[in-house]
Structures are given as structure tokens and as C-alpha cells.
Chains A and B, each alone.
Chain A
């Protein structure tokens, strides 16, 4: 019997105490001007971080050491579970994933503490205090209702094993990335609250907040993309997005985060729409908290939902109400006094960016409406309905069309005032190329359809716009080609990042349209030696053989794939039975490629020894996640812009 879980538990209690101090003392110090109280903010943040790390390490150690006397370990692990998944199992269930949440929050808090030397002490004190208060909520939640260190007596000889669906590399990385993302919006939130409290909302505030928001957004983009690609290769049915409530819970903050990044650009550049930007900053994190509630309270049915308990749901709801309610109250009090900033015309880059904001906000609200509508009707006694992919697809796609259109227009518009006719003139090539390219791709792929052409139009429009923007910068009217490389190097990283991120969206749209329109599926019965040909690929079935995994038994199909033109590859789809939980799992075999994925999944055995096999050719599906990666890279590029590396004192 070791004391490691007790140490971890104790560390959490200490952390709660430190978080309480961090949340109150510096805040009071900022209000009264007491420097000694404000100065505990940074040390408080570091101490909190260390304590939570201790607790986290204790939980990891309990998993690694197979300590089944800890209830959470016994429920999520097993002696046969490989090491990597024992570590990932730490965040496989409700209690442990909460600890991961708090860990991420403390990581961000410490980052703010470390990288805020250029900020006035009052501001830092308030920001860290707000983050400390959020930590208080989550630590209290854990300690009172979801303690990962609860003991189990007598300790069982073996655990119930981690859900086989989670025993996968995607599981190791997806939750941490996701949490880094939507927990990261707490920084923008804290900056906003600090600014409202201090009454100093200005372009400096926007400049400080922007890189933090972009980094959080970057992680969230990667987290969502990982979740989607994981579902694709793990779940065996080839889908990659189901509009499940938990998926929506991550997409809504992403949409608001995207709006926030753009709104911060307006506020930073023109000091305009400050109260709107502040509201978005509060909203983005509020949606993160709302998502936490939806996933863990049991009010919605979802494949991803953690084990639910209305008591836990009540706690999160109370916490959510206090945090968000207080923020909105503060907003209502302080926002009316904020000035209008610099002037801009009805048609300008500012208004394009704000149009983008409105559309993104509406998209997030539309998803919220669809996700909560069944609950709304049920609570009103009006019956039970379901709202699923048919609704969300019907609503979301049309909303994205004008958003992506604006994405092509905005970067080329001028600040303060832009002349519409000349803007249209500058974009004429982009429009022409978009139309031709979308029709051309359709023709090459075999058929031209209305919806797919519109989707491709969006993608190529963005590419055309980025190309036009680049062209104008590198080869302006009257300039020469000799200057081009120098001009290219002059493009600020923030703008290069924007271009890359926008190209990422174009790639994403392209991938979605191509795979949805031109995907081919073939369901066949295959005996040994049978073949089937899809899109020039010939699949030959070589039968099934049994193999033993570390904690499962599998029937592995042997499939040879030949391409006309020569190359041959092996694909091995599996049907696994995990020994402990005895549930069957389908592991599809995927051959990923730039222009297509080959996807083979093994069905049931039928009489005569043949097997049902599903074969897909999915064109350009990897562009979906490739596009997300480009978006994230664009964000990273933007954050490394020189202006964020300047110290205080130089011109803003």
C-alpha cells in the first residue's frame, strides 16, 4: 500500500488553498493599490502549478504502477494494458480528465505569469486572479464530487481495462490538445475581465490578448482535427464528423475563437468595437465552460459523454452561472462607457471583419440551437425530438458560404474606407479562376454537380484571393520582378500566417467537397481469391488469420491491392475482441495518400467461409485534416510576428 494517492489528494487540497489566495488577494490588491498584495500573483501562480503537477504525477504513477486500490485506476486500467495507454488512461474517464483540465489551466496561468513582464502589475494581478478563481471552481468540483484519488477496498486483483475505443495513439494526444485549446481561451477571458475591471480597454489590451488567443485557437484547431481523424480511422465506418453534442461543444468555442482573433485585429489596429471584442472574449470561454457542462452533466445523449451524475451537473451549472453571469454583469456595467475608437466607413476592412464576426457568431449560435433544442422542448413538456446531422449540415453549410466569401474579400479591403468597385476589379481574376477551376475539377472527376461546384467555388475563391493579395504585395503596379523576393520577405509574419490559415480553410473545403461528392463504397462478399475493382484499384482477398495482441484477440483480413500501373500493397483490416471488456471492435485498414484514402473494413463471416468486406475509395479526404494543420501553422506563424517580441517602450 503506497501513499502516492494520498500525496496527490493532499496536493489538490493545498492547490485549492493556493488558488483561493491567488484568486482573491491580488484582486483586492489591484482594487486598493496595495503592491504587496498584488505581488503574490506570480509566485501564487507558480506554486499552484507545482502542486497540480504533483497531483497529476501521482495519478500517472498510480496508473503506471497498476495501483488498483485507486478506484479510478481500477475502472480505467488493466495489467495487460500497454504503458502508453496506461498513461493516456489518466484522462480516459471523468475524474482524470478534470485533473487534466486543471493541469492545462495551471499551465496557461504559469505561461501568463512568465510572459507578462511588459504588462503593468495591476493588470497582471487581475488576470492571474481571474485564472486563479476559475481554478478554484474546478479544484472544488474535483475534490467535492469527482476525486480521482478515491480508494477502493479491497483492491481488486485487476482492473476493468480502458475502453478499447480509447486504446489508440489518437487518445494519447487528442484530449491534451483539445484542452490546451479551450482552456486557453481562459486567458483572453481573464484579459477581458481585467480590462473591464480596470476600465482600460484599448488597442494595447487587444495587442496583448491577441497572441494568447491565437495560440489557444491553434491548439483547439489541432485538437478538433485529431478528434475527427481519430474517429475516422478508429470507428470503422469511415465517418469523420457526426455533429454529436460533444463534438459541437468543441466546435462552438472554435468558431467564437476565430471571430475573436479577427475582432482583436480590428480593435488592435483601429481601437474600434472594443466592447464587442470584450464580449466575444467572454463568450469564447463561456462556451468552453458550457461545453464542459454539456459533456459531463448527462443532459444530452452522446457517444462521448462521460459517466454522468446530476449532482455533478448541478455543480458545474452553478459554477457556470456564477462565472459567466458575473462576467456579463461586469460587461453590462462597464461596456457602455467604452469609447468608439477610430472612425471607419460602412464599406471597409473593419466592416468586412465585423461581418465575418456576425456570421461566425450566428454559426455558433445555430449549432447551440440545434444541440439544445431537444432539451428545450423536453423541458417545456412539448415532447422529444432528435436533431442530428441532417439538420446541422442543412444549416451550417449555407452559413459558411458567405463567411468564406468574405474571407476572400476582407484581406484585400482597405482599413477605414474601401472602394467597392476597385475591390471588385482587383478580385476579378480570383473570381474567374474560381469558376473555371471548380467546373474543371468537377469535369475531371467525372461529374459536375451544383452543390459540389458551389463548395469548390468557395475553396478556389479563397485561393484566388490569397494569390491576388500575394501578387499585389510582391509585384505592385509599376514595380518590377527584381524586387519581388525582397518584397516577399517584407510581408509581416502576421499576414503570412493569415494567408496560410486561409489556404488551410480552402484545403479543408476542398477535401470535404471532394470526399462527400466523389467517394465510392463497395460492400462485397469475399472468399479467398475473390477480387473487386474500385476506381482502378483491384482488391484481392487472401482470407483471414487469427492473431494475439497484448490485450486482445484479432481476426485479421489479408487484402492485396493492385493499382493498374503496377504498385501493390497489403492492407490488413481486423476484428478484435478485447479480453477484459469482451466487446468487439473493428479496426479498418487505411492506406492514406495525398489524392485519396483506400479504406477497407472487415464485416461478418457468412456461410461458406466468405467474409463481408467494405471497400472505400475516398478522394482527398486527408485534405480535411491537412487543411486544419495549415490553419494551425498559419496561427503559429502569426504569433511569431516581430511585434509580439518587442519589449515595452517601443511604439505600439
Chain B
């Protein structure tokens, strides 16, 4: 019994090592979204291509849709963009773009140069809607369901794997 207290340091240490080992597989900087399962934040923004028209959150109720946050100054967005253009052709769900902290002309030109997968893009000039969505690193992608509840968030460029294993099954589930 007396020997037990001498084994304590070893015991605590081994538990610690287990956690440190688990930690090696985690990313300390990845921020999970608190919005999952909650209604998408309200917004009413001007369309990028037709600024006199506005689209509000409630206009999009009744359908499952994807919100993709992008900007012409964002390097990583170039990486995922061809994938989104391809994906939009399958018409799985409407993709709306959130042009985050960008200039209209620059945004329009970017879409003209690299393709436009979006049903419409919204201009978030000062980034406030982005803040409401908890955006901190562009690109980010959300999926919102029929009731306007956020169901999924992906941080960073979308990959074919994410589309295949996470987005498509989720959309099927939310639709059917």
C-alpha cells in the first residue's frame, strides 16, 4: 500500500502522455462553429451583380442552400473555385456566394475570370454579415436547411472528399 503513492507520478504522467498523443491529431487553431443547429443570422445584402436588388435570409427559406464565403483577394479561394464551378453544374443545391470585404469591381472581374458557380453573390462590403456567421478565415462554406437552420460549416477550401463524404449525403438527408 505504501508503494502506491510512489507510483502516482508515473500514473499521472501516463495519463498526460495519452492526452498529448491525442493532441497530435488535433488542430489547436480550428474553431468549431457555435452556429450549427441554430438559425442562420439575419441579413439583407445587395446582389453583387445588381446592387439595387437585395437578398434577405428569409427569401431563402424553404430550400436547402449553400453559402460560400469568398473574396477576390483570397488565395485559397482560387484553389477551391474550380471545384465549386464543377459542383454547381450538378445542381445539387443552390450556391450563394458571400463576397467578403471585397470591392464590387474586383469581385465581378474575379468571377468573370474564373467562373461563376453562384446563383447569386452578395456583397458584404464591411464584413459585418461575415462576423455574424463567425467567419474568420476565407474561404468558408455553410449549408443551411429549409427552416433556415445552419447544419454544416467547413473552414478552408472545399475538397472533393468533403463534397462526396459530407456535403452530398447531408443535402440528400435534408432534402429527402
Q: Do chains A and B touch in the complex (CB under 8 A)?
A: yes
Interface residues of A (CB under 8 A from B): 275, 279, 282-283, 286, 293, 297-301, 310, 313-314, 317, 320-321, 324-325, 328-329, 331-332, 335-336, 372, 374-376, 378-379, 383-384
Is there an interface contact between A332 and B3, defined as CB atoms closer than 8 Å? yes
Is there an interface contact between B6 and A336, defined as CB atoms closer than 8 Å? yes
Is there an interface contact between A298 and B2, defined as CB atoms closer than 8 Å? no
Is there an interface contact between B26 and A335, defined as CB atoms closer than 8 Å? no
User: Within 8 Å CB of B14, what residues of A?
Assistant: 325
Q: How far does the Cβ of B79 sit from chain A's closest Cβ, in whole Å?
A: 21
Is there an interface contact between B19 and A325, defined as CB atoms closer than 8 Å? no
Instruction: Please choose the segment from B27-35, B90-98, B116-124, B151-159 that sits at the chain A interface, where 4 or more of its residues have CB less than 8 A away.
Output: B27-35
Is there an interface contact between B17 and A317, defined as CB atoms closer than 8 Å? yes
Q: How far does the Cβ of B23 sit from chain A's closest Cβ, in whole Å?
A: 4
Residue pairs across A and B with Cβ atoms less than 8 A apart, 11 shown, are A298-B24, A299-B23, A300-B28, A301-B29, A310-B25, A317-B21, A325-B13, A378-B23, A379-B22, A379-B23, A379-B26
User: Within 8 Å CB of B29, what residues of A?
Assistant: 301
Is there an interface contact between A332 and B10, defined as CB atoms closer than 8 Å? yes
- The A contact surface, by secondary structure, is helix
Of the listed residues B14, B17, B29, the one surrounded by the most CB atoms of chain A closer than 10 A to its CB is B17
Is there an interface contact between A379 and B17, defined as CB atoms closer than 8 Å? no
Is there an interface contact between A299 and B20, defined as CB atoms closer than 8 Å? yes
Complex: A98 Cα to B29 Cα, angstroms: 25
Is there an interface contact between B9 and A383, defined as CB atoms closer than 8 Å? no
Instruction: Please judge, given known A-B contacts A310-B24, A314-B24, whether A375 and B19 are in contact too, CB under 8 Å.
Output: yes
- The B contact surface, by secondary structure, is helix
Interface residues of B (CB under 8 A from A): 2-3, 6-7, 9-10, 13-14, 16-17, 19-26, 28-32
Supply 16 further A-B pairs (C-beta < 8 A) apart from A299-B24, A310-B25, A336-B3.
A275-B6, A279-B9, A297-B23, A298-B28, A299-B23, A310-B24, A314-B21, A329-B10, A332-B6, A336-B2, A372-B16, A374-B28, A375-B28, A379-B19, A379-B23, A383-B32
Q: How far does the Cβ of A220 sit from chain B's closest Cβ, in whole Å?
A: 22
Q: How far does the Cβ of B144 sit from chain A's closest Cβ, in whole Å?
A: 22
User: Within 8 Å CB of A379, what residues of B?
Assistant: 19, 22-23, 26
Q: How far does the Cβ of B27 sit from chain A's closest Cβ, in whole Å?
A: 8
Complex: A313 Cα to B20 Cα, angstroms: 9
Is there an interface contact between B9 and A331, defined as CB atoms closer than 8 Å? yes
A-B contact count, CB below 8 Å?
A: 71
User: Within 8 Å CB of B6, what residues of A?
Assistant: 275, 331-332, 335-336
> B29's closest neighbor in chain A, by CB?
A301
Complex: A217 Cα to B24 Cα, angstroms: 30
User: Within 8 Å CB of A321, what residues of B?
Assistant: 17
Q: How far does the Cβ of A312 sit from chain B's closest Cβ, in whole Å?
A: 10
> B21's closest neighbor in chain A, by CB?
A317
User: Within 8 Å CB of B13, what residues of A?
Assistant: 286, 324-325, 328
Is there an interface contact between B28 and A301, defined as CB atoms closer than 8 Å? yes
> A279's closest neighbor in chain B, by CB?
B9
Complex: A317 Cα to B22 Cα, angstroms: 11
User: Within 8 Å CB of A310, what residues of B?
Assistant: 24-25
Complex: A383 Cα to B3 Cα, angstroms: 37
User: Within 8 Å CB of B17, what residues of A?
Assistant: 317, 320-321, 325
Is there an interface contact between A384 and B23, defined as CB atoms closer than 8 Å? no
Partner of A293, one of B7, B20, B32: B20
Complex: A300 Cα to B24 Cα, angstroms: 9
User: Within 8 Å CB of A329, what residues of B?
Assistant: 10
Complex: A331 Cα to B30 Cα, angstroms: 39
Nearest 9 interchain pairs by C-beta: A299-B23, A328-B10, A379-B22, A301-B28, A332-B6, A375-B23, A332-B7, A328-B9, A313-B24
Instruction: Please judge, given known A-B contacts A328-B13, A335-B6, A336-B3, whether A297 and B24 are in contact too, CB under 8 Å.
Output: yes
Complex: A298 Cα to B9 Cα, angstroms: 25
Q: How far does the Cβ of B153 sit from chain A's closest Cβ, in whole Å?
A: 14
